[in-house]
Chain A
Amino acid sequence: MRIRFTLNGRRVEVDAPPHITLLELLRNYLRTTGVKRGCETGECGACTILMDGKPVNSCLILAPMAEGAEIVTVEGLAEDGRLHPIQEAFIEENALQCGYCTPGFLITAKALLDRVPEPSVELIKDALTGNICRCGAYRMIISAVLRASEKMRTTSASQG
């Protein structure tokens, strides 16, 4: 069947079988391979994307449900060749090792910062509890989210 939606700001139209997941659609039909397969049962967070602004596990969503939605993946975080502050902060705080969980964490963290610009450590942990990092970079990930929050506030202050 034909599915139409917005992917990282671009309108896309794709033919795909209706029973596949959004994760499979993004990876195999649209080559958006930044979205990762970890468990396919909604338990690791590696496949997290933004769907209409909300972080969701793309492995739990059937592809046709994307119809008309606005979808953002890790590939859509950087704009005009400039890294998103959360991406910068992950590099600066060394918040990744193997990097396989990173796209999911970046997306979940961005969603949090969009909602709460100045989150507490408790709130950060709460938001990220569905994302597993087996390499154990959690401490650095928390620092990175705090740093990104600071970056975003200083840029928006200087712009405003």
Chain B
Amino acid sequence: MSSSLIEVQREEFSILDSWLKAREFIVVGKSVRRVDSLEKVLGRARYVEDYLVEGMTYARIVKSSVPHGLIESISPGEASSHPDFIDLITAEDVPGQNQVGYYISDQPALAEGKVRFHGEPVALVVARKPESAELLRSMVEVRVKPLPAVFDPLEAMKDQVIIHEEVGSNVVIKTHIGKGDAEKALEESDYVVENEYRMGYQDHAYIEPEGVLAIPKDGEYTVIAPAQYPHLAQLISARVLGVPQSKVRVIQPMIGGAFGGKDDMGPILAAQAVVAAHKTGKPVLLTYSREDSFTSHCKRDPAIIYYKSGASKEGRLTAVQVRIIFDAGAYANRGPFTLWRATAHASGPYEVPNVDSRGFLVYTNKVYQGSFRGFGNPQVQFAAERQMDELAEKLGIDPLEFRLMNILKPGSRTCTNQLLDHSVGIGEALRRVAEASGWREKRRRYGRIENGKARGIGVACAWHGISTSRGVPDWCNAYINVAKDGSVSVYTGIVEFGQGSHTGILQIVSEALGIPVEKINLIGGTSDAPDTGATHGSRGLSFGGTAALIAATKIRKAVQRVAARSFGCSPDDVELRDGWVYCRRDPEKRMRWEEAVKACYLQGEEMSATGYFFMPKERFDEKKGQGQAYVVFSYMAIITEVEVDVETGLTRVLKVWPALCAGRIINPELAKGQVDGAILQGLGYMLLEEIKVEDGRILNPAFTDYLVPTIMDLPEIMDPIYVEDYFKYGPMGAKGLAEMALIPMAPAIGNAIKHAVGVSPREVPYPAEKLYMDLRRVRGG
């Protein structure tokens, strides 16, 4: 870490350190109720489609029905004579740059010249009435001259069909990390396991489909956008409009689920909607239908993973060699980062001396990939954790024992040779879930078929770097203002979409100022707040909370100084609690919070503060593929118990034991909600959710045949075991957690299936039909 950063942020470091050492908390660590629940149960919470603006119009996308081709013409056709028709918006109407690519500038807001996937937005139709937009878009005439298309990533890697001429090859990015000599170590290993894994898409299937409302006024734009990073939606909107970023204001409505998907779709829809708003001069509400959401919004990257790993006969991992191919679809979007994350997590949370992990991001003529809870990691952890079980079996060691023999601990070096100096609780987590689940006994007893059914129990671990990788600059910020009457406003760019970050941030501020949560107003998810980075990578509460804690502590200190003067004690002895400011040594000396604030105003103490913090990072050497991959990792261990019906191939997950290492838990009840939700999405990923694609077209764009878990699929989920392995730069030691439980869920189920009936799942999803076929193969007949 650069020494100037230490110098400049001396105050911030000391603030974080003092809270890390605090022994007692009043609000933090308690299950405070989420602040938005009342409006939600009343049906008054305003999601984007619930806004009503004078003169509002309604837009839908017009989509390509060709997977790859040259656009010849787009015309409104009969739509133009319909009384509700207002306008047709195409790439030609984009006043600025028609570019929404996240890292690589390869993606237009509306297709230009070429279409690259079936379902790609080529135009928007704007209607006077909401119910007419659907009809109008069916009348629009789009003529496309088809080009040869490529759908299989292995085929695409041959570059016979080029999807992006400007990139030149379908292999858009290659990644690499490693250390030692994996090739040689594998040759010398006592045991080696080598397999190929295939992972399918997963759709976020948030119940609220995508939507954005763009309101133009006098050359400025207000954008109501369910986005996960308001400043990114602002930047991209400004880019397509060709106006300064400051002319666009982004506000977050209530958001009906995001899970990463709206990190991509928020800015993309914002770009589409502002162009329409600009051209028509009217407020435009752009909404996707459920079918649009399936056909045209980004998904979890499908992957092909070749995995070879070895162990010594003593049970130590010797090497892993991994090749990861991510199917990016038509646009790279987040692919460079999901793939990097997969590459850098390929070893699993274990000590492996020799590692060679390489990734390839490949364009195909299909819907593009995007952010989704786990961000590239669930794919590779599935392979890593299935491998662990197969290796253990070869070695004749219990798979949980085998994991413990190799697990990361403080002082370990990771697969990128990063030294983990603190905050590594996974070993304890694993031991505790083993005990809670009755692991040993069930491992012995299960795995027998009785009356056509068999039970199995399986374990899997995961590690997950928090926030952005490598040297990608990472910061957080918050602004707090205390009004003269003592009420407090907190501005954060962190977005609330159900995970409870806003409630958590309020708890942190409440703790630091010693006033109840009800006295604090949080204005979040807006470009009016300082740029806090995105709410992704499980950084919302952990990094957003850090910023809020720093800002609040600056105010706390001002109050302490003023109160100390009046009490005649040292500022360190001034306590803030329950709305009172008092001297710890002499509690008779006290004043109300409001009086203290007034005194600050009178005595020249600033009652507003920002909490900017630039995350200190160490070097990552891209050439060697070594160095600090992430500032910190969260960890998860999960045990699942399943029952497989041998006649039908149907797997039911009966019980789940989660253990989480996410540092301090700010709000256990909300944390539990995140763990439950991630478990269910992981269950769906493994057993239910399958996007079927034929010639690039999605065949099942509806909940009828894309099955997400219903209440009937709910297993008995135990309350999470929290191993609180504090993180030194997190608020009170907190790390990220919302993604964690999804990541090991699929392999935990896969390993339990293996235990139950002896077949070894190497594919995700692994629905009943596949298990049934594999069972027949294994058992004959």
List chain A positions with a Cβ less than 8 A from chain B: 17, 19-20, 24, 27-28, 31, 33-41, 43-44, 46, 73-75, 77-78, 83, 87, 90-92, 94, 96-103, 106, 125, 128-129, 131-142
Does B602 interact with chain A (Cβ within 8 Å)? no
Which of B33, B290, B676, B710 touches A137 (beta carbons < 8 Å)?
B676
Q: Which residues of B contact A38 (CB under 8 A)?
A: 207-209, 290
Closest to A38 in B: B207
Which of B42, B47, B209 touches A75 (beta carbons < 8 Å)?
B42
Does B758 interact with chain A (Cβ within 8 Å)? no
Closest Cβ of chain B to A112, distance in Å, is 12
Please tell me if the beta carbons of A37 and B209 are within 8 angstroms of each other in the complex: yes
Please tell me if the beta carbons of B33 and A99 are within 8 angstroms of each other in the complex: no
Please tell me if the beta carbons of A140 and B130 are within 8 angstroms of each other in the complex: no
Chosen A-B contacts, 16 in total, with CB atoms closer than 8 Å, are A20-B131, A33-B49, A34-B42, A34-B44, A36-B47, A36-B207, A36-B208, A43-B703, A83-B41, A97-B257, A103-B43, A134-B708, A135-B498, A136-B679, A140-B673, A142-B711
Please tell me if the beta carbons of A73 and B676 are within 8 angstroms of each other in the complex: no
Does B404 interact with chain A (Cβ within 8 Å)? no
- Tell me the B394-432 residues at the A interface (CB within 8 Å): none
Please tell me if the beta carbons of B257 and A98 are within 8 angstroms of each other in the complex: yes
A146 and B183 alpha carbons, distance in the complex (Å): 58
Please tell me if the beta carbons of B42 and A100 are within 8 angstroms of each other in the complex: no
A132 and B209 alpha carbons, distance in the complex (Å): 14
Q: Which residues of B contact A97 (CB under 8 A)?
A: 257, 498-500, 673, 677
Closest Cβ of chain A to B331, distance in Å, is 25
Given contacts A39-B290, A91-B37, A97-B257, 5 further A-B contacts (CB under 8 A): A28-B130, A33-B43, A36-B207, A38-B209, A94-B672
Please tell me if the beta carbons of A98 and B676 are within 8 angstroms of each other in the complex: no
Please tell me if the beta carbons of A41 and B49 are within 8 angstroms of each other in the complex: no
Which of B34, B130, B681, B708 touches A132 (beta carbons < 8 Å)?
B708
Q: Which residues of B contact A134 (CB under 8 A)?
A: 204-207, 257, 259, 681, 708
Please tell me if the beta carbons of B131 and A102 are within 8 angstroms of each other in the complex: no
Q: Which residues of B contact A40 (CB under 8 A)?
A: 289-290
Given the interface pairs A24-B131, A38-B209, A135-B677, the reply to whether A31 lies near B52 with Cβ below 8 Å is yes
Which of A19, A90, A98 touches B498 (beta carbons < 8 Å)?
A98
Please tell me if the beta carbons of A136 and B40 are within 8 angstroms of each other in the complex: no
Q: Which residues of A contact B717 (CB under 8 A)?
A: 139
Q: Which residues of A contact B670 (CB under 8 A)?
A: 94
Please tell me if the beta carbons of B497 and A98 are within 8 angstroms of each other in the complex: yes
Q: Which residues of B contact A137 (CB under 8 A)?
A: 673, 676-677
**List of 3 A-B pairs having minimum Cβ-Cβ separation, nearest first:** A34-B43, A100-B256, A98-B498
Does B147 interact with chain A (Cβ within 8 Å)? no
Closest Cβ of chain B to A31, distance in Å, is 7
Closest Cβ of chain A to B89, distance in Å, is 22
A87 and B205 alpha carbons, distance in the complex (Å): 25
Given the interface pairs A31-B52, A132-B710, the reply to whether A44 lies near B207 with Cβ below 8 Å is yes
Does B50 interact with chain A (Cβ within 8 Å)? yes
A136 and B678 alpha carbons, distance in the complex (Å): 7
Q: Which residues of A contact B207 (CB under 8 A)?
A: 36, 38, 44, 46, 98, 100-101, 132-134
Q: Which residues of A contact B257 (CB under 8 A)?
A: 97-98, 100, 134-135
Closest Cβ of chain A to B666, distance in Å, is 14
Please tell me if the beta carbons of A73 and B43 are within 8 angstroms of each other in the complex: yes
Closest Cβ of chain B to A75, distance in Å, is 5
Q: Which residues of B contact A83 (CB under 8 A)?
A: 41-42
Does B714 interact with chain A (Cβ within 8 Å)? yes
Closest Cβ of chain B to A26, distance in Å, is 11
Given the interface pairs A91-B38, A99-B498, the reply to whether A139 lies near B45 with Cβ below 8 Å is no
Q: Which residues of B contact A28 (CB under 8 A)?
A: 129-131
Closest to A87 in B: B41
Q: Which residues of B contact A44 (CB under 8 A)?
A: 207, 290, 703
Does B616 interact with chain A (Cβ within 8 Å)? no
Please tell me if the beta carbons of A99 and B256 are within 8 angstroms of each other in the complex: yes
A78 and B38 alpha carbons, distance in the complex (Å): 11
Interface-central residue, A87, A97, A98, A138, by most chain B CB under 10 Å: A98
Closest Cβ of chain A to B696, distance in Å, is 23
Which of A17, A35, A99, A141 touches B45 (beta carbons < 8 Å)?
A99
Q: Which residues of A contact B680 (CB under 8 A)?
A: 136, 138
Does B669 interact with chain A (Cβ within 8 Å)? yes
Which of B209, B500, B711 touches A125 (beta carbons < 8 Å)?
B711
List chain B positions with a Cβ less than 8 A from chain A: 31, 33-34, 36-38, 40-47, 49-50, 52, 129-131, 204-209, 254-259, 289-290, 497-500, 669-670, 672-673, 676-681, 702-704, 708-712, 714, 717
Q: Which residues of B contact A19 (CB under 8 A)?
A: 131
Please tell me if the beta carbons of A98 and B256 are within 8 angstroms of each other in the complex: yes
Closest to A102 in B: B40
Closest to B293 in A: A39
A73 and B41 alpha carbons, distance in the complex (Å): 11
Q: Which residues of A contact B500 (CB under 8 A)?
A: 97
Please tell me if the beta carbons of A41 and B36 are within 8 angstroms of each other in the complex: no
Please tell me if the beta carbons of B33 and A94 are within 8 angstroms of each other in the complex: yes
A86 and B42 alpha carbons, distance in the complex (Å): 11
Closest to B42 in A: A78
A129 and B129 alpha carbons, distance in the complex (Å): 33
A71 and B681 alpha carbons, distance in the complex (Å): 34
A41 and B702 alpha carbons, distance in the complex (Å): 8
Please tell me if the beta carbons of B676 and A140 are within 8 angstroms of each other in the complex: yes
Q: Which residues of A contact B258 (CB under 8 A)?
A: 98
A44 and B714 alpha carbons, distance in the complex (Å): 16
A9 and B553 alpha carbons, distance in the complex (Å): 50
Please tell me if the beta carbons of B703 and A39 are within 8 angstroms of each other in the complex: yes
Which of A17, A94, A100 touches B206 (beta carbons < 8 Å)?
A100
Q: Which residues of A contact B255 (CB under 8 A)?
A: 98
Closest to A75 in B: B43
Closest to A24 in B: B131
Interface-central residue, B33, B45, B205, by most chain A CB under 10 Å: B45
Closest Cβ of chain A to B191, distance in Å, is 38
Given the interface pairs A91-B33, A134-B257, the reply to whether A37 lies near B712 with Cβ below 8 Å is no
Closest Cβ of chain B to A33, distance in Å, is 4
Please tell me if the beta carbons of A17 and B131 are within 8 angstroms of each other in the complex: yes
Please tell me if the beta carbons of A129 and B710 are within 8 angstroms of each other in the complex: yes
A135 and B678 alpha carbons, distance in the complex (Å): 8
Please tell me if the beta carbons of B681 and A98 are within 8 angstroms of each other in the complex: no
Q: Which residues of A contact B204 (CB under 8 A)?
A: 134
Q: Which residues of A contact B208 (CB under 8 A)?
A: 36, 38, 98, 100
Closest Cβ of chain A to B42, distance in Å, is 6
Closest Cβ of chain B to A103, distance in Å, is 5
A39 and B290 alpha carbons, distance in the complex (Å): 5
Interface-central residue, B34, B40, B131, B709, by most chain A CB under 10 Å: B40
Q: Which residues of B contact A41 (CB under 8 A)?
A: 290, 702-704
A103 and B714 alpha carbons, distance in the complex (Å): 20
Please tell me if the beta carbons of A43 and B702 are within 8 angstroms of each other in the complex: yes
Which of B43, B49, B669 touches A94 (beta carbons < 8 Å)?
B669
A36 and B254 alpha carbons, distance in the complex (Å): 13
Please tell me if the beta carbons of A100 and B711 are within 8 angstroms of each other in the complex: no
Q: Which residues of A contact B206 (CB under 8 A)?
A: 98, 100, 134
Interface-central residue, A34, A92, A128, A135, by most chain B CB under 10 Å: A135
A135 and B37 alpha carbons, distance in the complex (Å): 14
Interface-central residue, B41, B129, B708, B712, by most chain A CB under 10 Å: B41
Closest Cβ of chain A to B738, distance in Å, is 10
Q: Which residues of B contact A87 (CB under 8 A)?
A: 41-42
Given the interface pairs A78-B42, A136-B678, the reply to whether A128 lies near B711 with Cβ below 8 Å is yes
Closest to B709 in A: A136
Closest to B130 in A: A28
A94 and B207 alpha carbons, distance in the complex (Å): 18
Closest Cβ of chain B to A87, distance in Å, is 4
